[in-house]
Copies of this chain bind each other. A is one copy, B any other.
Amino acid sequence: VSQFPFESSVPWRRKAAPVLRRLEAVAALNQAEVEIVERAVLQSEQRRGGATLAVEGPFGRPRMILSGWACRQRLLPDGRRQIFDFLLPGDVTGLWSPLDTQTTVVALTGVEIADASGMRAAAQDGVAHPALAHVVALAPALEQARLLDHIVRLGRASAYERVADLLWECAERQAAAGLGDERGFPFLATQETLADLLGLSVVHLNRVLQQLRREGLVEVKAGRLKLLDRTRVAALATSVPLPVAGAR
């Protein structure tokens, strides 16, 4: 996971790196597949924070996140909001067609995205593009695994456990995209956003975060987060399930 050919100084290669890393974690890409991703990245597009990137449903185009954070969410008629999951750099969404049309993909920060239609199309040819085919075939299962974890988190974990579990998940995912280092990793979510994901009030979330800091488990500053005591955080996180190695 360390020495990787995608750290090139060529700008569009650097942009593609998170996506390529994530894909490699599922299956090794051949040359043609790498090029398909890089070609898509060339047409990247910037969107402001708050922008609606997509409304889910059978007609959405698949997208990959190159930088910035987004989320999938639902707004209730009375203004309450529930976030289903975060989309981090390297994530690809919309590879398959959900039926739910009330889910919206929203940019949490400024984001850079690219169209992944080419990727989905290429996956049709399982012989020429076996890894992409595999990724697309696995997409619903991976997504569901994350949703199930989230259900357990919401249904049976305390606020303290929920936050720890989420931070752990983010750390793992960012690492998988090659984004973190010894100084921690980019953490671009607002406390209000976290609250809406974890089913808590902002005020309480704030207090729980402070507790985690006070106890020396994590450190948050300037859009970066660092897990200071990985062991203890992981223990809290896994009281809720154990991430199956490599399954995400």
Contacts and interface: CB of A to CB of B under 8 A. Distances in A.
B151 A147 contact: yes
Contact of A156 (B80, B145, B239): B80
Interface string A71-115: 000101110111010000000000011111111000000000000
A144 B147 contact: yes
A244 B142 CA distance: 24
A-B pairs with lowest CB-CB distance, top 6: A155-B199, A154-B154, A140-B140, A99-B141, A100-B145, A82-B152
A150 interface: yes
Interface string A112-146: 00000000000000000000000000101111110
A81 to B, nearest CB: 7
Contacts of A247: 99-100
A218 interface: no
Given A101-B244, A242-B102, A247-B99, A74 B152 contact: yes
Contact of A84 (B148, B198, B239): B148
A146 to B, nearest CB: 9
A199 B156 contact: yes
Contacts of A240: 76
Interface of A: 74, 76-78, 80-82, 84, 96-103, 138, 140-145, 147-148, 150-152, 154-156, 196-199, 238-242, 244, 247
30 contacts: A74-B148, A76-B152, A76-B241, A77-B238, A77-B239, A81-B156, A82-B156, A96-B140, A98-B141, A99-B142, A99-B144, A99-B145, A99-B247, A100-B141, A100-B144, A100-B148, A100-B244, A100-B247, A101-B244, A102-B242, A102-B244, A103-B148, A140-B141, A140-B144, A147-B147, A151-B151, A154-B154, A154-B155, A154-B199, A155-B196
Given A76-B156, A80-B156, 18 more contacts: A74-B152, A76-B240, A77-B239, A78-B239, A82-B156, A84-B148, A98-B141, A98-B144, A99-B145, A100-B145, A100-B244, A101-B244, A102-B244, A144-B147, A151-B154, A154-B199, A155-B196, A155-B199
Nearest to A148: B100
